[in-house]
Structure 1
């Protein structure tokens, strides 16, 4: 332990991080493959004279599902030194979950979500609690993409007078790309695109930006529910209360419209941290002293490195300002997600 503390003190550029499991097929993913995928999408849109669709943020949609576990994973707590284990008693099966399918467009608009329950017959009290325009379904597998698109999403497009064609990005799972769904989308001018295989953990806007804070809020909500209800079993209908309350907050709605800039900010910020760690404290201090200057006045061989560092810093500032602007715009909008 003493050696470890000394080692980390000597190497300030190193920090402890939890590893993220990555399957072998995902590990083969490269920037070039992703850029080629974007180019193929661009070539298709250009060949079919659909450039105008890309410029209209109301016509670009992304769908994704997420599972809400009724007994979320463990939370950190304080225990007496020497005790090996801290138990958290739960009233639910730790594998029991509810599935939510959500769609959002690049403007930050959220059509009514679909909540999927694993029931043979939906209880009347849950049906009665559903907001009027939200969708509820029952499924043993948890997949209802076609039914949702046909019965909820397509009517919502018409009701909100969204011009057709629209672009609809989903992951490449077989449940999302059924023949019925493909035929329906073709008939109703919804262009279906599959995200690049084994890259949804990077490319999926909903997964990357929206669901992460949503899941963190869910864990906190479940924890508070247990405290307020003397560790009673979590009722399945609690998810409805949670989602309605969560999306009433404009700050949470803004996660959708900020998906692209937030993802770009994250990537560039991680690269900047890596670059600054390699520069060393002395060189980084010199760069910061010259940051406001038009030209680099230090060692000539560091000119290109300084300009790279400065450009990334400026881009990060612009992305942060863009995010704040989009939040302000979203707060002025009405009815992004119907409450009832």
Structure 2
């Protein structure tokens, strides 16, 4: 094997991420049809919506174990048992995050596994976050409704409508949720089933980065205090991970990767196709917000420049609609 990899330096052996069969069989045609239907539907409501990144949002949730997987440590050679002190509790807190294509983050919603309000301040050290509770710490319809009513809608500007992309979890859809969205100019649009790992912006960059930052924050907390993270200290520890990862460029990077998924699945589009064509100019390397000279989302003749994008090299991104 070593000689084989030496002859083929472009490949390497890696541990594969688990991927369900229903996700592995997503086809180009199915995903392409979803993109086409999504754009057609949004254009019928407001043709300028997709040219306004400050009106395009994505919300998603992920669980954070208070006892994350331990990393390698130094031990004596020949030691049979090597231990790493943890809290010993397999509890987790769910965080519901939301960001826009412009790079704006909304305060996160933390869902604790409680049936009653705790006697301590669960948000100590992370006061800008919001608190919710469920028996198992998972999101429910009631919790998502409170997120829309208390966090998402009050933080929106005057420009309406806005579109909020969510996955197909049952907690994201109910009569009360749909009614609230309709009354406040929010288009709740569901991502393609079993394809959120490809087109969910927050999954593409943000959650991967904050999970790594969370593990590092837990390690530092244990090193500095000699104690394990508990529900009492969860929020202040998560705050450190949030501050290091909730950056505009990470939010934008997720939407860029969503555009890359469109390119991969719609690469056979012609100039007469109603599909969305995506192409790059002078892209000799992978594009990130830090090396964008011009970051423009262009549908027909409209252009919107992302104000925080740094200027470096001569990379640009254009998304054009062909008829």
- TM-score (norm: length of structure 1): 0.73
Question: CA–CA distance in 2 between the matches of 1:128 and 1:23?
Answer: 35
Q: How does 1:68-87 map to 2 (within 5 A)?
A: 68-79=64-75, 86-87=82-83
1:145 corresponds to:
144
Question: CA–CA distance in 1 between the matches of 2:29 and 2:71?
Answer: 38
User: In structure 2, do the counterparts of structure 1 residues 251 and 154 end up closer, same or farther at CA, with 3 Å as the change threshold?
Assistant: closer
Aligned partner of residue 258 in structure 1, secondary structure: helix
Query: Does structure 1 residue 203 correspond to structure 2 residue 182?
Result: no
Aligned partner (choices 235, 240, 255) of residue 260 of structure 1: 255
Query: Does structure 1 residue 63 correspond to structure 2 residue 63?
Result: no
Q: How does 1:1-340 map to 2 (within 5 A)?
A: 4-48=1-45, 50-79=46-75, 86-93=82-89, 95-127=90-122, 129=124, 131=126, 133-141=128-136, 142-143=138-139, 144-157=143-156, 161-230=157-226, 232-249=227-244, 252-262=247-257, 314-317=282-285, 319-320=287-288, 323-324=291-292, 329=308
2:300 corresponds to:
none
Higher helix share: 1
Aligned-residue offset at 1:82: 5.2
The runs of 5 or more residues in structure 2 that have no matched partner are 265-278, 296-305, 311-323
Question: CA–CA distance in 2 between the matches of 1:250 and 1:168?
Answer: 21
Aligned partner of residue 66 in structure 1, secondary structure: strand
Higher strand share: 2
User: In structure 2, do the counterparts of structure 1 residues 248 and 26 end up closer, same or farther at CA, with 3 Å as the change threshold?
Assistant: closer
User: In structure 2, do the counterparts of structure 1 residues 312 and 256 end up closer, same or farther at CA, with 3 Å as the change threshold?
Assistant: closer
Output one character per residue of 1:132-180: Cα deviation in whole Å (capped at 9) or x when no partner.
Answer: 54311111242111111112211222xxx33111101000010111222
Aligned partner of residue 67 in structure 1, secondary structure: strand
Aligned pairs, how many? Answer: 281
Note if contact 1:268-1:316 (Cα within 8 Å) is conserved in structure 2: no
Note if contact 2:107-2:129 (Cα within 8 Å) is conserved in structure 1: yes
User: In structure 2, do the counterparts of structure 1 residues 84 and 208 end up closer, same or farther at CA, with 3 Å as the change threshold?
Assistant: farther
1:287 corresponds to:
none
RMSD: 3.0
Question: CA–CA distance in 1 between the matches of 2:289 and 2:127?
Answer: 37
Aligned-residue offset at 1:7: 2.8
Question: CA–CA distance in 2 between the matches of 1:137 and 1:257?
Answer: 28
Aligned partner of residue 214 in structure 2, secondary structure: helix
